[in-house]
A and B are shown apart, each in its own frame.
Chain A
């Protein structure tokens, strides 16, 4: 049930100066990583994760969440101005955003993208506020078989919808699950894959794995690229007028309505969902042939959708403890590091924390609107910061970050190995998201699966309707994904698996 007073209490908590500062830092960093091509929210979250250990839990999660939804705002700036998507979700924004810039309507594109993002972000948090407690109350009835079914469905969706090839997605997911099993077995206590190494006996920690796979590999890939362009033209009028404004706002609403439910589902990567919003807009338009030449609905719908998906992603994370993507998985890790148990009990045992984080999202969306509209020129300039400075700075943070959770150089070597592996995977079109999600969800799936079998053998799954429903859904998503992915343009799929 929606608790209005809890939400008001949460918002009042956020208005305390230290929480406001964390929220502001998160929004600024989020916008920054959104505008910087090659540096995604996953990399930033993984690098900051060890540092947040030294901050208070509520402030840290407010900041990490701010980075995540802030990046969805910032990603559009470089897509619109220089035709380079700042992050995966903004690939489709380039389709109409950049043509609008070429027509001298960059200001309008940026305005509708920021306002559309604000609408989506705010509506998304409202849905989280209303449905979160309801879903959490329902999920309290879940036992190990239901969780095993849910995790199996989540993993299947993530690997199936991960990008260019289902086989590569499944391979990466299984690889992640095997890597997560290194160390002490959670049930019997025997060591697996240790080969006498003390470091391996302690298992592979999530932080170095995430830092390597997303931080170090991003820098290695960027070492081969580099961005030299900067937008030097005029932005033109900011706020669209008359029919353009109405069309833009309506498209933002449609993008939001499509994005929130899809954001709740695992595996729905922002780039692919953004394309679905774009495709829908094109289908219902009276002038579909004009899409791709600078149509405001093409920008508004996609950007709103992008933000709606990001906000929707928080619902399964907070209510069920299931991350639907890699960035969410890192936030899940942060929650676990603070001793908080993400899932339905979070709404019962850590009520104040949950509602403060949700409250921060309302305030963060307002901050982002203010940050993104008047300061758009500044963000465009920052997006051209050369990698010759950025690369070494980030690599230095990665090494210290990988070392910090357990104070061992074994973890730094793991981060190094994961970085090289991530680089090789990227260069050969192997998706990283299933590897990471397999690594995080693998131990949860293994434990709930083994607990279920201990409870009643393999047939237990067929005696529990919810577990059966999840298993059937997993099969459906696997079959459906083959047809579904064929409809998405290759360039969107290839960008999305990065």
Chain B
């Protein structure tokens, strides 16, 4: 059995199931005085969710015996570490914007992300971090008037 297809099928099925429950909830608690909307918000969601669940079952039934394709070259361990680090740094950045404010969070993000991406020289890294943070601050905060959370710092 192809476990990748199994996992894909299960994930899509769960997504469809969540949507189906929401659709049923909306049908059960429908406002009885709304007469102008025969489809209602729930039936639409229910139809989509049933379609999605049918697709997941069909996809699994058709492909579960197929051997996983070898088209895509597996990434090296170094690349995978870089990828997961980038995802982690991005998540940290969003959290930091909330807690310490845009400027400090952006400085931290660029410093870490440039390092992880392969800028090994500390000097280049620090210069790029400072330049990029200033440029982004000018563009987004000064030019675009975006109001970021102040956080604990600024």
- Please report A residues at the B interface, Cβ cutoff 8 Å: 50-51, 53-54, 165, 167-168, 170-171, 174-175, 177-178, 181, 185, 187-188, 190, 192-193, 216, 219-220, 223-224, 386-389, 391-393, 395-397, 399-400, 403-404, 407, 409, 412-413, 416, 419-420, 427-430, 446, 449-450, 453-454, 457, 494
Closest-CB distance, A461 to chain B (whole angstroms) = 13
Q: Which of A170, A393, A428 contacts B132 (CB 8 A)?
A: A393
- Assess whether B82 is in contact with A223, with CB atoms less than 8 Å apart: yes
Contact at B52–A178, with CB atoms within 8 Å? yes
Q: Nearest chain-A residue to B19 (Cβ)?
A: A178
Asked whether, in the complex, the Cβ of A174 is within 8 Å of the Cβ of B94, the reply is no
Q: Which residues from chain A contact B41 at a C-beta distance below 8 Å?
A: 181, 185, 187-188, 190, 192
A223 is contacted by which of B26, B79, B147 (Cβ under 8 Å)?
B79
Do residues A219 and B86 form an inter-chain contact, with CB atoms below 8 A?
Answer: yes
Find out whether the CB atom of A170 lies under 8 angstroms from the CB atom of B22. no
B72 close to A427 (CB less than 8 A): yes
Partner of B8, one of A192, A428, A449: A428
Per-residue interface assignment for chain B, residues 75 to 87, with 1 indicating a CB less than 8 Å from any chain A CB and 0 otherwise: 1000110110011
Chain B positions 98-154 with a Cβ under 8 Å from a chain A Cβ: 98, 106, 109-110, 113-114, 117-119, 128, 132, 136, 139-140, 143-149
Give me 13 A-to-B residue pairs in the complex whose CB atoms sit less than 8 angstroms apart, sorted by A's number. A54-B145, A174-B55, A178-B19, A223-B117, A224-B82, A391-B113, A399-B94, A400-B136, A407-B147, A409-B97, A409-B98, A413-B94, A449-B39
Query: A174, B38: Cβ atoms under 8 Å?
Result: no
Does B1 lie at the interface of the complex (its beta carbon under 8 Å from any beta carbon of A)?
Answer: no
Instruction: Find out whether the CB atom of A177 lies under 8 angstroms from the CB atom of B48.
Output: yes
A54 to B49, CA, bound (A): 38
Sorting the interface of chain B by its residue count into under 10, 10 to 19, 20 to 34 or 35 or more gives 35 or more
Which B positions have Cβ atoms within 8 angstroms of A?
A: 4, 8, 12, 15, 19, 22, 26, 31, 34, 36-41, 44-45, 48-49, 51-52, 55-56, 58-59, 62, 69, 71-72, 75, 79-80, 82-83, 86-87, 90-91, 93-94, 97-98, 106, 109-110, 113-114, 117-119, 128, 132, 136, 139-140, 143-149
User: Known contacts A188-B37, A387-B117; is A171 also within 8 Å of B59 by CB?
Assistant: yes
Contact B55 A170 (CB under 8 A): yes
- A-B complex: 4 closest residue pairs judged by Cβ atoms: A388-B118, A185-B41, A392-B113, A388-B117
Whether the pair B71, A457 counts as a contact (CB closer than 8 A) is no
Cβ–Cβ < 8 Å partners of B149 in chain A: 409
Contact, CB under 8 Å: A220 / B86: yes
A187 to B91 alpha-carbon distance, docked (Å): 36
Question: Measured between alpha carbons, how far is A50 from B29 in the docked complex, in Å?
Answer: 38
Across the interface, do B22 and A224 meet the contact criterion of CB distance under 8 Å? Answer: no
* Chain B residues, CB < 8 A from A430: 8
